[in-house]
Amino acid sequence: MAEPIITVITPVYNLVEKEQLDAFNLQLSLLDLQTYPHIEHIVMDKASTDGTLEVLKDYKNKGYIQLFSGKDTGKFNALNEGIMHSTGKYVTFLSCDDFIHDITAFADIVNLLEANDGDFTFAPAYCRHPQGFTFLFMPSMYNVFQVLPCARQAMVFKKSVLVKENYFDEKFKYFADFDLVIRLVMKKYTGLYFDTNYVTYKFSNSSVEDETRLTNESKSIYYKNYRTLYPDLNEELLDKMSRLSEFPQPLLEKLSTYFPEADKQLFFDRCEEMHQIRLNAANMAKNKNQSI
């Protein structure tokens, strides 16, 4: 039986102007070192105007990438288009300044998915923060209904599942990946933990700059996915859920059923831990503002 293709999809725009070309070159170099031989790298260029397209065409001619260039309506539109162009059984997503630092990772991930008939994998990842420090983002799947449980870059998906579930919901400009993972868990697709930190990604500036938009989008995702489980959702509840991870207990009871019965108490404990973390952070910020 032929080994399956894994497709890497990378959206780019004006790499030269943004001084991201070196980071993208590192990504290409490390993908070329992967021990798994069946990798397809699709680059979705947003009609760059600074010379980036010419560089990408050279990479395409040398066989490093497949290139598609044209206007898009946002990051997740580009990712969806990339999925449509892909030929791989499995799909993963890297931004232009992310890279795979473990050269055996794709071989091990494909083996894990194939052996267990998995629908997606999730793993730890190094995150480079805009303020200059790096931290390890450990997956927290029991918190999947409150926050994005792991880095999108540290996940590999079965393409057929993404197609069946209608891709990323493009009305969400920041957290469409969060919405997608919620939907996959609620449909009880098989997620597999890959116990290796193999990817380093850069935390988006937008994730720390526009708190109001991020909060509103989280509220919209909660409402979309939970309103049938808890029809009493209102603006006040949604605000607490988004800012503090404070969920109504009856809703948590229903969400707990998406995990094995033996894990029910662990699910509640992890949800309460997340609430306390967010509450403490909010109180610290409030006290800091009052002292200024």
Structure confidence by residue, pLDDT tens digits, 66-123 = 999 999 999 999 999 999 999 999 999 999 999 999 999 999 999 999 999 999 999 9
Among candidates 90, 96, 140, which has minimal Cα distance to 270?
140
- Which residues touch 284 (CB under 8 Å, ≥6 apart)? none
Q: What is the pLDDT of residue 131?
A: 84
Sheet holding 199-202, edge to edge: 99-100, 199-202, 125-128, 134-137
Mean pLDDT for the stretch of residues 25-37 = 96
* Displacement of CA 257 from its chain's centroid (Å): 24
Q: Is the pLDDT of residue 292 over 60?
A: no
What is the rounded distance in angstroms from the CA atom of residue 55 to the CA atom of residue 24?
A: 11
Distances from the Cα of 107 to the Cα of 6, 60, 90, 139, 166, angstroms: 10, 24, 12, 21, 27
pTM for this predicted structure? 0.94
Whether 199 and 126 have beta carbons less than 8 Å apart is answered as: yes
How many C-beta atoms lie closer than 10 Å to residue 266's C-beta?
A: 13
pLDDT in tens, 157-216: 999 999 999 999 999 999 999 999 999 999 999 999 999 999 999 987 655 567 889 999
Q: What is the pLDDT of residue 2?
A: 77
* Displacement of CA 42 from its chain's centroid (Å): 17
Q: What is the pLDDT of residue 147?
A: 96
Structural domains of the chain, ranges and CATH numbers in brackets: 6-209 (3.90.550.10), 227-291 (no CATH)
Q: Is the pLDDT of residue 224 over 70?
A: yes
What is the rounded distance in angstroms from the CA atom of residue 215 to the CA atom of residue 11?
A: 25
Query: Reduced to 3 states, what is the DSSP secondary structure of residue 151?
Result: coil
- Confidence band of 132 (pLDDT split at 50, 70, 90): confident
Residue 120 has, within 13 A of its CA and on its CB side, a CA count of 29
pLDDT in tens, 229-260: 999 999 999 999 999 999 999 999 999 999 99
Whether 194 and 109 have beta carbons less than 8 Å apart is answered as: yes
Residue 87 has, within 13 A of its CA and on its CB side, a CA count of 7
- Which residues touch 130 (CB under 8 Å, ≥6 apart)? 202, 203, 205, 208
